[in-house]
Structure 1
């Protein structure tokens, strides 16, 4: 993507993420006038050698991590392309069929959400209205999230510039405000995501109530409805568990921040006997200890490990370097395997969807039973459940982004700026050891926020693109389907729905196949780089052995 379509594509942040702590510490400090002038002009030049940047290309997390996690992101948009349009088209089909004849729902049932049990048609109108609220609300939510996420890269860049090149006076004046703005955008996006999730949850509960009462007389449909209800209950339990995990993460962050002063003193004392070059790796350990372990697990959304982008680099073919190269190679191979599995699963989903679509084209409206109509409604409910699951994951991710941002704000306001004030009170500059520690803490935190925000921006953009192309107009048209007057119109509508669905399915297949092919090329190219490095390392070892033998003979 270009910077115009993706504001996170930024050469300044990319360069910073690849620089060592020593290089960042050596960035020239600017006067207040010069700093503000460069900030206003958007001047992003970083005086760092090309040699330094090229030397770390192989063990570069900014290259390897996107390759590792790309298959999971591909799965998200493919599920969205399947579930969104399919749920609308299937509900529309049910409404077209139901327009032939109305009937009441079961009277001796304890309804909680269904408003018009005396009419199946009115109930479908209620369902379509709530589906519109959920899908249109999700669409506007993603538009809002995109707008918020677009603001974050510039603010993050400002925070990095302040931390690395501005005076303590400007840091005290501007850094809290900058991070507060980031926190506000994260909080607003989290609130929007939670609201969308709640609308999908309400829609699912309504659908399950409709299905529960309409499947009582058919064992196959009842079994499917009960399975969907159990899956929905699992989603609710998972959400509750994740709420507890997020609360625990919040508590862990708070405990870590309270312990930061003691950790700082311990670090300060330990570094007195360590050369300056060793301060940054120890500072990274302090940062890692601040990060709750739960957010570093592979089953966390985004599947990102908690490790610095400034991982150790190697200038020679040491055993440690070869071991690390082999680890990176194994991860890439595992990602390639995962990608193939996800691709095959998507192709199977498309085949299943095509089977459902083909059934629509063979419907005989004169012989269709209520139970067969409800079966189509069950298929629509399955797809709504997929969308609900996506929003559950997004809501969880936004919550942790918010927590991380709030924690970083507190570290800035109560710790970093407090240390600056203490130094000013005694008329001394900030201690270099403290400066290294807080620079690592803040640069790593900002880098993490940047990566998480970027992922959320891409998800929001993808959702909006799919929604614009395949969902918004279609959901708005559902309200008129129940007014179809004759079977010819109904059959025409069902055929149109089938054709639309088939076209989307083919587009998903073609696009998924093209992207899978591109991914395999990128992944294998990166694997070849590591394999070549490992082979060169083994050759170098043999040459060293031969060289030592020759020296021994002399």
Structure 2
């Protein structure tokens, strides 16, 4: 191989190493993607527990056509359980993928070293060499596939939360409008109740007045009847009237009897009229009472509805706050997996494939250049291993228990007190958890930086 060719290939190796360092620097603070994860799961659990007593619809203003992600928008609790179930699937799938990537990236440097140190052109050696190279190529392809799966899962969860947030915002507006209508109805019914109560009061007063008037009229009637002449007196009255036909003048007793009869008749008419008024008043009282009861029931129903709407709106406000926080924190999880996927696709996999291609044509290239490619591929393997290993450690220590609780939220009536207490304890501990995650990430990053420095020093010694 010519000196000119060697120089150009070495320059390309240096450029690749600089690009690798640049990619590492772009994700220098990737611990920020992982730190909020435990708290996000805990506050989601708290929201599910808080909303387990009463349910409501978030389908008050459905989109045209149908929802893309939400399966049961008529139940806010069902929507939360869909988020929990999808989150549980995303975290479990991510852990599985990260664990496999961790294992692949851990064994790959050994495969690379075995290929680099293989000597001889005999068939057994070449067969083993071909097998190792094929395995390295398979690991490269498999890690690319595995790195994409968590992004797909968290992208789906993101879609569910985003659609649920919009449904909550739209429903909150509708519930607010209903609340205003109910408040207007309450004001109207309060006025009606006040009017009905006043009508009832006046009717009762009229009833008292009529009762007194009826009592007085009965007394007057009875008094008039007592002064009214009996049967003998009425016969005498008639006899006197017959005799009086022959006399120019009636006797004074006849006049008195006529006056008494008129008074009895008048008192009787007045008593009957008082009875009719009392009967009508009793009907008015019955209607006033029914109106007051009906209005009071309507007012009570409106106030109950107002309380229910206020409670629903309060839960929606809390749900929007929590879901918004979960969305923001799980977007960071997506960014974490996107970062790792990009590193694998842009750096890890190409480095492995470069090694495979160069080793296939090792006779054409200087062995020192092949070793440089091996060292750069080793750096990429260690970086991917460090990131995936860190995630599996974070998952095992801080996420697994919380994620498992998400799967238990479907039916927890019998264990609600225990779950609530545990949630409160986890909420209080979230700052300590974030500090522990930060310390873990920094420790693993420091170990990787020391290893990378050693490899770079080896590369300098090869030049």
Instruction: Note the 1:86-125 alignment, pairs <5 A.
Output: 86-107=39-60, 108-109=62-63, 110-125=66-81
1:475-508, Cα deviation, whole Å (9 max, x unpaired): 122244354559x956x74553243133242243
Alignment correspondent of 1:410: 357
For 1:516 and 1:140, the matched residues in 2 are separated by 23
For 1:215 and 1:366, the matched residues in 2 are separated by 12
Given that 2:48 and 2:409 are in contact with CA atoms closer than 8 Å, whether structure 1 keeps it comes out as yes
Task: Specify the SS of the correspondent of 1:112.
Answer: coil
Q: Tell me: CA distance 1:483–1:181, structure 2 relative to 1, closer, same or farther (3 Å).
A: closer
Alignment correspondent of 1:139: 95
Which of the pair is proportionally richer in helix?
Answer: 2
Alignment correspondent of 2:320: 374
Matched, 1:500 2:426: yes
Given that 1:79 and 1:386 are in contact with CA atoms closer than 8 Å, whether structure 2 keeps it comes out as yes
Give the CA RMSD over aligned residues: 3.8
Instruction: Note the 1:90-239 alignment, pairs <5 A.
Output: 90-107=43-60, 108-109=62-63, 110-162=66-118, 166-169=119-122, 172-216=126-170
5+ residue gaps, structure 1, are 1-20, 22-61, 220-364, 421-433, 524-554
1:311-368, Cα deviation, whole Å (9 max, x unpaired): xxxxxxxxxxxxxxxxxxxxxxxxxxxxxxxxxxxxxxxxxxxxxxxxxxxxxx9994
Aligned length in residues: 291
Alignment correspondent of 2:343: 397
For 1:461 and 1:70, the matched residues in 2 are separated by 19
Task: Specify the SS of the correspondent of 2:67.
Answer: coil
Shift of 1:519: 9.6
Q: Tell me: CA distance 1:161–1:412, structure 2 relative to 1, closer, same or farther (3 Å).
A: closer
5+ residue gaps, structure 2, are 1-5, 7-16, 174-310, 450-463
For 1:104 and 1:507, the matched residues in 2 are separated by 35
For 2:443 and 2:160, the matched residues in 1 are separated by 41
Shift of 1:100: 1.6
Given that 1:96 and 1:482 are in contact with CA atoms closer than 8 Å, whether structure 2 keeps it comes out as no
Q: Tell me: CA distance 1:174–1:478, structure 2 relative to 1, closer, same or farther (3 Å).
A: closer
Correspondence for 1:386 among 332, 342, 354:
332
Shift of 1:77: 3.5
Matched, 1:444 2:444: no
Shift of 1:513: 6.7
Larger radius of gyration: 2
Shift of 1:512: 4.2
Q: Tell me: CA distance 1:91–1:155, structure 2 relative to 1, closer, same or farther (3 Å).
A: same
For 1:144 and 1:466, the matched residues in 2 are separated by 15
Q: Tell me: CA distance 1:366–1:206, structure 2 relative to 1, closer, same or farther (3 Å).
A: closer
The TM-score, its normalising length taken from structure 1, stands at: 0.46
Alignment correspondent of 2:200: none
